[in-house]
Amino acid sequence: MINKLIAGIRKTNAPIVVGLDPMLKYVPEHIKQKAYADLGETLEGAGEAIWQYNKGIVDAICDLVPAVKPQIAMYEQFGIPGLAAFKRTVDYCREKGLVVIGDVKRGDIGSTSEAYAAGHLGSVQVGNSMCCGFGEDFATVNPYLGSDGVKPFLQVCRQEGKGIFVLVKTSNPSSGELQDRLVKTCAQGAEVFRPIYELVGEQVAAWGEECMPEEGEYSYVGAVVGATYPEQGRILRRIMPRAFILVPGYGAQGGRGADLVHFFNEDGLGAVINSSRGIIAAYQQEKYARFGGEGYADAARAAVLEMREDIASALERR
C-alpha cells in the first residue's frame, strides 16, 4: 500500500492527502436540509448529511490526489449512523482508487491492539468466514503504550501489505508538553538529553526495518509530524529516512508550503501533506466565496489545485 501511495503521488504530482473531517458546520445548508427532511434532525440525518457532503468532495478531487484521510472522531460523535457514514466513505474512496488513511489514533495493550489492527486494516474470523470491519489502507497509531501496542499492527501490515503512521510529533500547540520532554539517554558512554519525539522517531525507524515491502524504498511504518513544527520535521526526516511522514497542520492550522520542504527526502518523496478544513470547507473562505455552498465541491477542487502549486513551488525553490 505504501507503493500504491507513492505511485499515486507520482501520477498526480501531488503529495497531498485530503482530510475528510466533516464537521456539520462545514456541510452546506442545502445538503443538511435534504438529509434532515429525509431522516430528521437525528444521528441518522447527520450521518446522511456528512456522507453526501463527502461524496461530493471525493467526486471533485479524486483525480487530483492520491489519498484521503477521514478523521474517525468526526463520524464517531454521531454514534452508529456516523460510523456507518465513515465506512461508506472508506468504501467509496477505495472504489475511486484513492488510498484511505484511517485517522483513528488507536493504540492499546497487545491483545486489544490486535483487535484494532484486525478491524481497521485486516479481517476477523467469524466461524469459518473472514470478515472485514472497516478496511482502511493505513491507520494512525498512538505510541504511548510502547511496542506491545504497535506490534500487532506491524503483523497485519506485513500480512496485508498495509501501513501505519505512528504519532511522533503532533501538530497541536500543546504537543510539546509530553513529546518535547528531554529524556536522559546514553551515547558512547556519555549522558545525552533528547526529546521524546526523537526517541519515538527512532522506534518508528526500527519498526520500519521489520516491515519493508518486497520492493521499494519506504517501509510500511510511517510517522505523523505536524507541519507546525518544521525544525523537528527536519531532524525526524534524518532519523527515519525510510519512513513516510504524514504531515497534518497545513493551511488552517498555520503550516505553509515553505515549512514543508524539510519533511521531504532528496528523492522528492517521503512526505504527504494533509489539509482538511482548508479544502473541504474552502467555500467558507473569502478567497473561494464565489463558489457558494452549492459549489462547495468545486471550491474544494480549486483549493487542492492551489495547495499543489504551493507545495510544488516550495519544493522547486529549496
Site for a copy of itself in 83-112 (CB under 8 A): 83-84, 87, 105-112
203 interacts with a copy of itself by CB under 8 A: yes
77 interacts with a copy of itself by CB under 8 A: yes
Residue carrying the nine cell digits 527536519: 234
Q: Which is nearer to a copy of itself, 17 or 118 (CB)?
A: 118
Among 38, 59, 63, 76, binds a copy of itself (CB under 8 A): 76
Q: Which is nearer to a copy of itself, 75 or 288 (CB)?
A: 75
| Packing angle, helices 110-120 and 147-160, rounded to 10 | 30
10 interacts with a copy of itself by CB under 8 A: no
192 interacts with a copy of itself by CB under 8 A: no
Q: Which is nearer to a copy of itself, 129 or 188 (CB)?
A: 129
Among 63, 97, 124, 287, binds a copy of itself (CB under 8 A): 124
Where do the H-state alpha helices sit in 65-121? 73-76, 79-95, 110-120
Q: How far is the CB of 229 from a copy of itself (least distance, A)?
A: 13
Among 12, 34, 64, 79, binds a copy of itself (CB under 8 A): 79
212 interacts with a copy of itself by CB under 8 A: no
Among 43, 211, 223, 302, binds a copy of itself (CB under 8 A): 43
Grid coordinates belonging to 56: 461530493
7 interacts with a copy of itself by CB under 8 A: no
Closest CA to 8 of 69, 98, 94, 90: 98
233 interacts with a copy of itself by CB under 8 A: no
Q: How far is the CB of 12 from a copy of itself (least distance, A)?
A: 26
Q: Which residues are catalytic?
A: 105
Cβ atoms 21, 276 nearer than 8 A: yes
- Spatial neighbors of 262 by CB under 8 A, at least 6 apart, are 230, 231, 233, 234, 237
d(CA 246, CA 248): 7
Grid coordinates belonging to 59: 467526486
36 interacts with a copy of itself by CB under 8 A: yes
48 interacts with a copy of itself by CB under 8 A: no
d(CA 221, CA 65): 21
d(CA 28, CA 4): 33
Q: How far is the CB of 22 from a copy of itself (least distance, A)?
A: 10
d(CA 176, CA 172): 9
Residue carrying the nine cell digits 480549486: 302
274 interacts with a copy of itself by CB under 8 A: no
170 interacts with a copy of itself by CB under 8 A: yes
CA 106 to chain centre: 13
193 interacts with a copy of itself by CB under 8 A: yes
Among 177, 267, 286, 316, binds a copy of itself (CB under 8 A): 177
Compute and round to an integer the Cα radius of gyration of the chain: 19
Closest CA to 201 of 235, 231, 251, 160: 235
172 interacts with a copy of itself by CB under 8 A: yes
